[in-house]
Structure 1
Amino acid sequence: MKALRRQSLAKAIQLSLLIAVPGFAAAQDAPSPSEATTLDSVQVTGTRIKKAEIEGQVPVHTLTRADIERTGLTSIGDVVQQITGSGSGFNRTRNASGNDGFPSDGGGTGAGATTVDLRNLGTKRVLVLVDGMRWVNESSASGVGGATDLNTIPLAIVERIEVLEDGASSLYGSDAIAGVVNVITRRNFDGVQITANYGQYEDGDGQTSGVDLAWGGSSERASWFLGASYYDQQEVFSKDRARTRDPVFGTGLELGSTRVPGGRFRFVDPRNGGQYDLTTDPTLTNPTYTPGLPNCAGGADRPDGFRCFSGARDAFNYAQFNLAQTPSERAGVFGQFRFDLSDNLNWYARALFNRRDSLNQAAPEPIDIGPGSGTAFASNAVIPVNQPFNPFGIQLDPSNIRTIRRRPIEGGPRLFSQQVDTAYFGTGLEGTFDVGSRGWFWDANLAHSTNEAEQENRGSYNIRNIVTALGDPAVCAATPGCTPLDIFGFNTITPEMLAYISPLFRDRSENKLTLATANVSGDLFDMWAGPLSFATGYEYRKYEGSYDPDPQTVRGEYNGVPSLPTRGEYDVNEVYVELNVPLMADSSWGKKLDLNVAGRYSDYSTFGGEFVPKFGLRWQVVDEFLLRGTYAEGFRAPSIGELFGLGTRFDAAITDPCLGGNFARNAANCAALGVAPGQPQFDAQIGVNTGGTPTLEPERSQSFSMGMVWTPSFLEDSAIAKRVDFEGTFYKHRIEGAIQAPDPQTQLNLCVQTLDPQYCNGIVRNASTDQIEEFSNFLANFNVIKTDGWDFDVYWALPETAIGDFKVSWQNSWVGNYEAVGADGSRQPLQVGVLVSDPVTRSIPRWNSTATLDWQRNNWTAAWTARHVSDMTEDCSGVDLSGDGGTDFCPDNPGPNQNRLGSTTFHDVQVGYKFDYMRGLQLLVGANNVFGKDPPVCLSCNLNSFDGSTYDLPGGGFWYVRADLRF
């Protein structure tokens, strides 16, 4: 379709466009109020009406390609995560597989994915669009995801990214509770562009390299664009950073794992009734066991081949095997073709294929034997006296085993490699028609997209085979492939033993999205203050998802975190209407006042119908001052994983209020729960059983925002400024019936405090050791989530100087309140200024700020950016979890059982030069975190002692070079 006639925008819209860019607006030249800015009549994120004059009813942050390039980042997700209103999401620092298990939402661990969280409401409450159309949710071969992996969209195809941080379910349907990320692809492109980049950390690791190719052109009736992208990110090992090479920074082995290479053997010897807690002495090559020796009497060690286990001396440093940055290789190609069938009818087709190969690595997988080990095979294991390697001279079985743990480093680390393929095809018609003298726009679209993932797991074990190899030698001899297993010592497991117990595990998951949409918009008729604008449309969507774990896992033989298959589908039919009603124009009350009203009805095959409205006011008081506000109701439909997940488990770090030194504080209630005094907590990691619920209702939300845009005329073309823009927005969100499982630590604390069955049911303890053996924690519609805060942005263009042009932008987000409250009134631990790990680390800084100073002179450009995160606290009451009464590393600052994470500011710098030949070869050199600022130490974070979703990687800055050539 030929270009539509360009239309002028109101001055206030120019202002809102200029200052809506968080952290990157300084790249844009600011036109003076006397200059008319023109745009095609387009549909902007936040409205369905294709009429540019109504832009500005909601704040939309627009990131151009120049803004993206200034960050030095090569992932859409990493770029969006730097917006000040962004919360915690998965990214390249999240080494998830093998440690987080399977979260309760059925979406899996999202290994290798990059997701975005807006307003700290969670990644599943952000809707991701590409050219205004929904994008398929991610699958990482560990579940059926409910969020979008932005790594599935190559950066080479991006023209700009529009981010709406406001409820928009009335316009876009489910998931748009916290906001919308709309990726606009490149369309009008003429010529060839080659972009190459390379970067690495100061320590010489974590190398990233990539090449983007773009080719486009047009003829009289057609236009086309083809983009290809290749990106390679290398790993950073935790052992190569001082901050991440210990389980918790600065604590040495004290907080390491009690699952050790030499084994930990806790049992009762029926010959003398003695309780033993032993590990193999690493100084002895042929450990032997002498029965009858006292167990650590008087603190003395044993003289035989075993010694008394000590956490400070014998604990295992799992951090030596972990990754601080995961490797990822991505290749994608995108094509778009448009053809004018007539002057007012256009056909388009677009297609994408993207492949991601990523890897997560965890420490060698431990083997647990005995009651409460997590599987029926391990809990009921029997190691007979005549097992060839049993050194104790007694049969070990559930009657006398307290726990047996062995981490076979002979098998190497666990490696989880993912191959994720995303395919998309869309086609449609776009056109215009006239009704009298009024022009109308319409479009009809079809699209289908898939996200398929396969994961191979090496270094894990088959617990059924382990139990067979530890059992009756005659049974092992009669079992094909079985070799008796020796777990009693260091480096005792031979390759033949490993071949039987360590198979390859293969998991697979898939998400599919099929949709059909039709939309029409235009002006209905003239009112006293202008035309009444209108948009309506229909949308059909079908979601299909499946997760197929390895058959060994389904049979319960996987030694790691068990999971069951998931499979489900649903569809939805929706209609929406949007009206823009002019209420006033050029009166004593101001220049213009518009009311925007929208409503959407959705009919789901899973739970029925849902209607959500939205109301917005935009008041142009004078040319330089704009007020606007919105009220919206929204919803989020339960995802396939939340509905149809059959059951799984994740390992949560939980401090038991009834074990160890905690018993005395809760003695009466712990005794009522059957716990005996003096029982230590064997392990901080407790298996939590969880799963989906088919009867879940949608989450329902209310969102409110109010803001202003002000460009003071007295500062325009003044001695101190060429132009100054201010934008402020207050927001408030409330979600009712939030789909969530209770925080496991909170649930256990309430069980002990109240003895109420609603908390205690599903928590089962072992009769002998009092350790928690089962912990049920299933999804429900019970939570109320409330949050509010402020955004305040400043854009300042300084007067021209002899040394160049300077611009300053400053973006700020303050979170005033965040509460997640259960149906019983219990408050969940995540709140403003607090970091939690449950098990995924999330944090809500009270203040995020980004300030950028831009400079340009002739062919030279430079930028300096400061990114600030305010201080937070974390609960560190459970830092000493070794079970042996070791040192407490919690600093009790600023209060008891609290650790303060101080405020942090990262500085980024970039310098560029554009050569005059060709179409302009541009070279960029930059460094992120140029001063090498380390993030604050996190004591409760599962891995690496820092929150990678909030802070940069420790251990120095990241420098990069980029070359861009056009011809």
Structure 2
Amino acid sequence: MRYKYSGVFMALAALAAIPSSVLAQESVQAADVERIQVTGSRIRQSELEGQNPVQVLDRDYIDRSGMSSIGDLLQSITASGSALNTRFNSSGNFGFPPDGGGVGAGATTVDLRHLGTQRVLVLVDGLRWVNESSASGVGGVVDLNTIPMAIVERIEVLEDGASSIYGSDAIAGVVNIITKQAQTGATLNARYGQFTKGDGDQSQVELSFGGESDRHSFFISASYYDQKTVASNSREQSSLPVPGTGSALGSAAIPAGLINFIDPNTGQQQTLFPNASNPVYNPALTGCERSDDFRCFSNDRRFNYANYNLLQTPNKRASLFAQQQYRLTDSTQWYLRGLYNQRKSTNQAAAEPFFIGTAVPTNFWADNLTIAADNPYNPFGFDLVAGGDNPNLLMLAYRPLEGGPRRFEQTVDTFYIASGFSGNFSHGDRWFNWDMNAAYSTNRAEQLNFGSYNARRLATGLGPLATCQAEAGCVPLNLFGANSLTPEMLAYIQPVVRDNSENTLNLFSANLTGDLLSLPAGELAFATGWEYRKYRGSYRPDGLTVAGEYNGVVSSPTAGSYDVNEVYAEFSIPLLRDVALAEQLDLSVASRFSDYSTFGSEITSKAGLRWQVSRELLLRGSWAEGFRAPNIGELFGSASGFDAVLNDPCSEPSDASTQANCSALGVPASYVQPNPQIGVITGGNRELEPETSTSHNLGFVYSPEFASQTSWSERMDFSVSWYQHKLKGAIQALDAQTQLNLCVQTLSDDFCGGIQRNALGAIDNFSNALTNIGRIDTSGVDFDISWLQPATDIGQLSVNWRTTMMNYHRVFDANNERQPRTVGVEVNNSGIPRFSSNLNLAFGNDSVQASWTMRYLSELTESCGSAASFAICQNTPETGQNRLGSVVYHDVQLSWQTDAMLNGVQIVVGLNNLFSKEPPICLSCTLNGYDPSNYEMPGSRFWYLQTRLQF
């Protein structure tokens, strides 16, 4: 049971955790200046290696990567899972996810340990960043494209649960982006690059300047980034709906229009397409030997929609960032920082198809319209009726190329301002550090959708002539023959759809850290604090979408808010020091109390042990509780519909058992699924409880003396870290394909309750709401080796090798049924490789630096799905399986710098994916024939040139 407590109680609790004698002291300048704060602990400490495994991506690492996006950089580390990036052509293809967060079009996010982007906490300078809103929902994750790379000093990645330190969301880990605080003089950085195919140009310009004095420092940065489009049809692998299958798996919605109907005069069912403009139909002809203007349909007539998609989406970002720090007294300073970032991005899909008729349920208007006999373009001379008790229009699938492709253009504005005070004071011979912070941030987005259609007007324009004439602006519509829609027809049915969304975060916090008392083994250190957050979010879809007139999609506005008060306490307790087998042994404990206005309260705790066995060997381990509170989209997201690409097991079932179960569901034995796109209704759930987790981490760091300060080695380090996360009550909807499969397999109401079929057997209602679904268990091991050669007259060599091995990843639904997502398997456009590894070799001196980076991903296996019968699905002995082979990407970079010109000049040239390694073909992936969350896109050898000038 959860209990509610007032914010007043929590504030008092935070104050109670601070000794009154400490508060009574005046502050003076701190003496212990060597202590720093490392992500994963609020306690300032002198040891860089603590109980928690933290990967630090410093500025040298960032520059060597050749990447200009924080998101792309983080997705390249070995602990990264599947996350959204600009290689996902999201809008119009993935629909509305059940969490109410929208598709995140144009955003880049981060996932750690394959636990999902919503389970990673993103901080900037230790404070939470606002969640994204890409105008299609109220997102619950941070868009890293709202933070310019130009302002980053380093990125600290905590690869362990940390809810007791930072609160909700820190289940899989924490990403803390540390910004540049000061700079002397001005720096101009310009970068240009493109793929060797001659496309996908990237341009970047950064201008920064700053200064420092005894009491004041400041840093100002302005940056602009422009990434151009790469079209899917520019690469062979992505130029077909599914590689290696020709047009056979293309869309039945063709430019000429495919119609499946029953002629009421003869009772014959026919599937035809017009072979001429203004076609003439001869009712006396009932087969495929025809002399009129219609022809029978075959797979070679299917439409190749891949030609209109994008491999890389255009993305423009302009940012302005400034911060200053002013020392008010010798022991107190004030800071102020602010950011404005604007992103303009575009997604594109093929012209939006019309699926009309009883056999292809999409929306109310298309499922129940009549193409009237008196419509001047109806070539049949009788009413074509969809819906009702005796429909004769089973399917009309028309692809209006004349209306242009679907384009989704996002404009996303992010505002951030933070201010606070920090300082130190003494009590006796002890020193304490404190800080107080306030921050406001908002992410506002507008999306314009071009190329979609008003389903109600479509029904009116096809219906009885009198009905159309009674509506102002209506013109009769023609869907028979290629390019049959005139500009006047398009003007009537093709709107510009405008959607808006917003996320806002208000934050206040106060922290205190220092040493409480002396123990035989050292000082007992503590940190304590209070934090208040207020979240507000809204999604305002276009009125057509709300009214259900937007073709195939119904969505309602979403609005909600909640707040949380939190207090925490953390202690570092020295147990042993300078004894046999223990130079130092420390215990850390932490606990956090969170009070949410939505569900009540939660307490999370953590304990860790740091055992410095000797100068060479450090052992460490931790146990942590975690939780993730449901976000605004998950709680308040209104019912939304989208078209999911699903394979109905009742379409030509392969075995007698499936056939029997399908018959029990009312599906005729002759049923063939005409359209892989099935409308799915999702929505939030105000009864959701938080997710909870338990995390374990155990490892060591070994720095051998024989490899330290010798003629061949300045330093060598080995580290191994084993991790395990057990997540319960995961907030998600059951995968739609999995739900459909389990419904047919089990006939259980748990899975079939939300699935309804019409008289023809086609699914006409599919409910897929959020719930606390089950559990996720995952475990793995990180291996790190680093070696630094002593500097010589010509330079210094460094080697850094990091590998992550996934032991297991298991997902279970609420009925304890195992889900398909697991290690070594590609499913739903993402895969979990058993091994991922990065090896970097760097050599350089004061003038010249060179680096070679190798990135490895082990093989995956997938179900071939609808491509199982094609020759391309023959990579493994198992029937219907495809192997995605292992890959190695090579990135090289060479730079030269000098101080002889200006205050410094640097020139950098690099080549990513040196050997143009192609991604393994994915037959189950939704678009472009590969998994963009793991692999570089086809034909992705990329060169770049960068110049940095200092004034």
Same fold (TM over 0.5): yes
Q: What is aligned with 1:67? A: 61
Aligned with 1:123 (options 117, 120, 125): 117
Q: What is aligned with 2:302? A: 315
State the shift of 1:905 in Å: 0.5
Give the counterpart letter for 1:395 in structure 2: D
Structure 1 residue 41 corresponds to structure 2 residue 24: no
Q: SS at 2:379's partner residue?
A: coil
Q: What is aligned with 2:523? A: 531
Aligned with 1:348 (options 331, 335, 340): 335
State the shift of 1:858 in Å: 4.5
Q: What is aligned with 1:944? A: 928
Aligned with 2:769 (options 753, 771, 778): 778
Residue 841 of structure 2 contacts residue 851 of structure 2 at CA under 8 Å; is this kept in 1? yes
Q: SS at 1:656's partner residue?
A: coil
Alpha-carbon spacing, 1:127–1:965, altered in 2? closer, same or farther (3 Å)? same
Q: Map 1:654-669 to 2 at 5 A.
A: 654-662=646-654, 664=656, 666-669=658-661
State the shift of 1:401 in Å: 1.4
Q: What is aligned with 1:845? A: 833
Aligned with 1:559 (options 544, 551, 558): 551
- Structure 1 vs Structure 2 CA RMSD: 1.6
Between 716-725 and 327-336, the greater mean CA deviation after superposition: 716-725
Structure 1 residue 148 corresponds to structure 2 residue 131: no
Q: What is aligned with 1:895? A: 878
Aligned with 2:204 (options 200, 210, 229): 210
Distance in 1 separating the partners of 2:182 and 2:656? 71
Between 173-182 and 334-343, the greater mean CA deviation after superposition: 334-343
Structure 1 residue 909 corresponds to structure 2 residue 909: no
Give the counterpart letter for 1:859 in structure 2: S
State the shift of 1:772 in Å: 1.1
Q: What is aligned with 1:833? A: 824
Aligned with 2:95 (options 101, 118, 126): 101
User: After superposition, what is the alpha-carbon deviation per residue over 1:808-864, rounded to whole angstroms, capped at 9, x for unaligned?
Assistant: 111100110001101212111110011111xxx221111000101111144111001
Q: What is aligned with 2:602? A: 610
State the shift of 1:286 in Å: 4.4
Alpha-carbon spacing, 1:923–1:6, altered in 2? closer, same or farther (3 Å)? farther
Q: What is aligned with 1:600? A: 592
Aligned with 2:641 (options 625, 649, 653): 649
Residue 460 of structure 1 contacts residue 560 of structure 1 at CA under 8 Å; is this kept in 2? no
Give the counterpart letter for 1:928 in structure 2: N
State the shift of 1:801 in Å: 5.3
User: After superposition, what is the alpha-carbon deviation per residue over 1:443-493, rounded to whole angstroms, capped at 9, x for unaligned?
Assistant: 111111000000000010000011000011111112111111000111111
Structure 1 residue 818 corresponds to structure 2 residue 802: no
Between 331-340 and 371-380, the greater mean CA deviation after superposition: 371-380
Aligned with 2:263 (options 257, 262, 269): 269
State the shift of 1:670 in Å: 1.2
State the shift of 1:218 in Å: 1.8
Q: SS at 1:890's partner residue?
A: coil
Give the counterpart letter for 1:43 in structure 2: Q
Q: SS at 1:714's partner residue?
A: helix
Structure 1 residue 671 corresponds to structure 2 residue 655: no
Distance in 2 separating the partners of 1:225 and 1:755? 63
User: After superposition, what is the alpha-carbon deviation per residue over 1:564-599, rounded to whole angstroms, capped at 9, x for unaligned?
Assistant: 111100000000000000000000131000000000
Structure 1 residue 793 corresponds to structure 2 residue 769: no
Give the counterpart letter for 2:876 in structure 1: N
Q: What is aligned with 2:346? A: 359
Q: What is aligned with 2:227? A: 233
Alpha-carbon spacing, 1:433–1:802, altered in 2? closer, same or farther (3 Å)? closer
Q: What is aligned with 1:16? A: none
Structure 1 residue 955 corresponds to structure 2 residue 903: no
Q: What is aligned with 2:914? A: 930
Residue 44 of structure 1 contacts residue 55 of structure 1 at CA under 8 Å; is this kept in 2? no
Q: Map 1:508-907 to 2 at 5 A.
A: 508-662=500-654, 664=656, 666-718=658-710, 720-767=712-759, 769-800=760-791, 803-837=794-828, 841-879=829-867, 890-891=873-874, 893-907=876-890
State the shift of 1:536 in Å: 0.3
User: After superposition, what is the alpha-carbon deviation per residue over 1:682-712, rounded to whole angstroms, capped at 9, x for unaligned?
Assistant: 1122111111100000000000000100011
Q: SS at 1:53's partner residue?
A: coil
Residue 125 of structure 1 contacts residue 636 of structure 1 at CA under 8 Å; is this kept in 2? yes
Give the counterpart letter for 1:787 in structure 2: T
Give the counterpart letter for 2:531 in structure 1: E
State the shift of 1:374 in Å: 2.0
Q: SS at 2:476's partner residue?
A: coil
Distance in 2 separating the partners of 1:617 and 1:413? 58
Q: What is aligned with 1:10? A: none
State the shift of 1:624 in Å: 1.0
Alpha-carbon spacing, 1:887–1:898, altered in 2? closer, same or farther (3 Å)? closer
Q: What is aligned with 2:367? A: 379
State the shift of 1:747 in Å: 1.4
Distance in 2 separating the partners of 1:519 and 1:481? 64
Give the counterpart letter for 2:140 in structure 1: G
Residue 138 of structure 2 contacts residue 502 of structure 2 at CA under 8 Å; is this kept in 1? yes
Distance in 2 separating the partners of 1:802 and 1:51? 36
Distance in 2 separating the partners of 1:598 and 1:898? 47
Q: SS at 1:921's partner residue?
A: strand
User: After superposition, what is the alpha-carbon deviation per residue over 1:286-316, rounded to whole angstroms, capped at 9, x for unaligned?
Assistant: 42211131233xxxx43321111112x1111
Structure 1 residue 420 corresponds to structure 2 residue 418: no
Residue 688 of structure 1 contacts residue 776 of structure 1 at CA under 8 Å; is this kept in 2? yes
State the shift of 1:652 in Å: 2.2
Distance in 2 separating the partners of 1:818 and 1:176? 19
Alpha-carbon spacing, 1:3–1:379, altered in 2? closer, same or farther (3 Å)? farther
Alpha-carbon spacing, 1:3–1:65, altered in 2? closer, same or farther (3 Å)? farther
Give the counterpart letter for 1:254 in structure 2: A
Q: What is aligned with 1:468? A: 460
Q: What is aligned with 1:394? A: 382
Structure 1 residue 58 corresponds to structure 2 residue 17: no
Aligned with 2:445 (options 431, 453, 460): 453
Distance in 2 separating the partners of 1:482 and 1:904? 56
State the shift of 1:210 in Å: 0.6
Residue 522 of structure 1 contacts residue 534 of structure 1 at CA under 8 Å; is this kept in 2? yes
Structure 1 residue 504 corresponds to structure 2 residue 504: no
Residue 30 of structure 2 contacts residue 331 of structure 2 at CA under 8 Å; is this kept in 1? no
State the shift of 1:649 in Å: 2.0
Residue 98 of structure 1 contacts residue 560 of structure 1 at CA under 8 Å; is this kept in 2? no
Q: SS at 2:659's partner residue?
A: helix
Paired residues in the alignment total 919
Residue 806 of structure 1 contacts residue 854 of structure 1 at CA under 8 Å; is this kept in 2? yes
State the shift of 1:80 in Å: 0.7
Q: What is aligned with 2:904? A: 920
Residue 5 of structure 1 contacts residue 40 of structure 1 at CA under 8 Å; is this kept in 2? no
Distance in 1 separating the partners of 2:409 and 2:918? 29
Q: SS at 1:320's partner residue?
A: helix
Q: SS at 1:213's partner residue?
A: strand
Give the counterpart letter for 2:811 in structure 1: A
Distance in 2 separating the partners of 1:440 and 1:737? 40
Residue 278 of structure 2 contacts residue 377 of structure 2 at CA under 8 Å; is this kept in 1? no
Residue 4 of structure 1 contacts residue 41 of structure 1 at CA under 8 Å; is this kept in 2? no
The unaligned stretches of length 5 or more in structure 1 are 8-38, 881-885
User: After superposition, what is the alpha-carbon deviation per residue over 1:163-195, rounded to whole angstroms, capped at 9, x for unaligned?
Assistant: 101000000000000000001110132111111
State the shift of 1:796 in Å: 1.5
Distance in 2 separating the partners of 1:675 and 1:702? 44
Residue 861 of structure 2 contacts residue 881 of structure 2 at CA under 8 Å; is this kept in 1? yes
TM-score (norm 1): 0.93
Identity %: 53
State the shift of 1:400 in Å: 1.0
